[in-house]
Chains A and B, each alone.
Chain A
Amino acid sequence: MTLLKNIWEWDKRNFERLRRFQLPHRFKQIGFALFLVAFLALLAFRFVNNDATVIKTSLKYILLIGLLIISVSKEKIEDERIVQLRQQSYQVAFVVGVLYSILILPLVNYMADVIFKKESLGFEVNSWEVLFIMLLMQWFIFRMMRKKCS
């Protein structure tokens, strides 16, 4: 019985640690640097017409990782109000992400079909795009909330 209880306690402790997981504030700059470098590199690749698919794909992943690091880094003073604003920003970002994939993207694809008379892309949703939109929205909404709700 004590063993079971110990396992239960250990599990509870670890879960609590996971629930509170956040990176220190300085990681925000690292995340931003990764994001910026990957973003600029991707932008540069648009003008250079070569088939560096592997590099492009890895850059896209680095971009997402950068945004994720920004998202899970603490603020300078992470107090209870910031925690609340953070939760709200995730909530909005989630809804925006879903709306984007079920509404905006198909609509844009449909418009593109009508205007350019191209092969329909239908409801094909690019997971990278959705993740990008969600992370970016969370970042911006959190920033906006911190400015406007203070």
Chain B
Amino acid sequence: MKNTLKVERAILNLTQDELAKEIGVSRQTINSIETNRYVPSTVLALKLSELFKKPVNDFFTLEEND
């Protein structure tokens, strides 16, 4: 799975730490998602979607081998 979390974060001008606080996770979790080491749960994805005011599909996309 690919994601454009970093881009979305840049649009809102948030740091990893600020975004983490906003949705109630640790900074390391945001970092892990951005570097494709952790796939977030649906709950977390929806929280991000709410914050970015965009559907989940806009920043999370499936890859060929998924």
- A79 in contact with B25 (CB, 8 Å): yes
Contact indicator A79/B24 (Cβ below 8 Å) = yes
Number of residues of chain A lying within 8 A (CB) of chain B: 11
Any B CB within 8 A of the CB of A146: yes
Is residue A50 within 8 Å, beta carbon to beta carbon, of the partner chain?
no
Provide the residues of chain A in CB contact with B43, threshold 8 Å: 80
- Chain B contributes a number of interface residues (CB within 8 A of A) equal to 13
A79 touches B37 (CB 8 A): no
Stretch at the interface among B7-15, B27-35, B51-59: B27-35
Judged by DSSP, the binding face of A is loop
Contact A80 B40 (CB under 8 A): yes
Contact of B41 among A77, A80, A146, A149 (CB under 8 A): A80
Q: Does B44 belong to the interface (CB within 8 Å)?
A: yes
Complex Cα gap A34–B64 (Å) = 51
Answer yes or no: B4 CB below 8 A from chain A CBs. no
Determine which residue in B28, B31, B37, B44 has the highest number of CB atoms from chain A within 10 A of its CB, and name it.
B28
Known A77-B25, A81-B38, A82-B29; 13 more pairs at CB < 8 Å: A76-B26, A79-B26, A79-B29, A80-B29, A80-B41, A80-B44, A84-B38, A146-B28, A149-B32, A149-B38, A150-B28, A150-B29, A150-B31
Interface residues of B (CB under 8 A from A): 24-26, 28-29, 31-32, 37-38, 40-41, 43-44
7 A-B pairs with C-beta separation under 8 A:
A77-B26, A79-B26, A79-B29, A81-B25, A81-B38, A82-B29, A150-B31
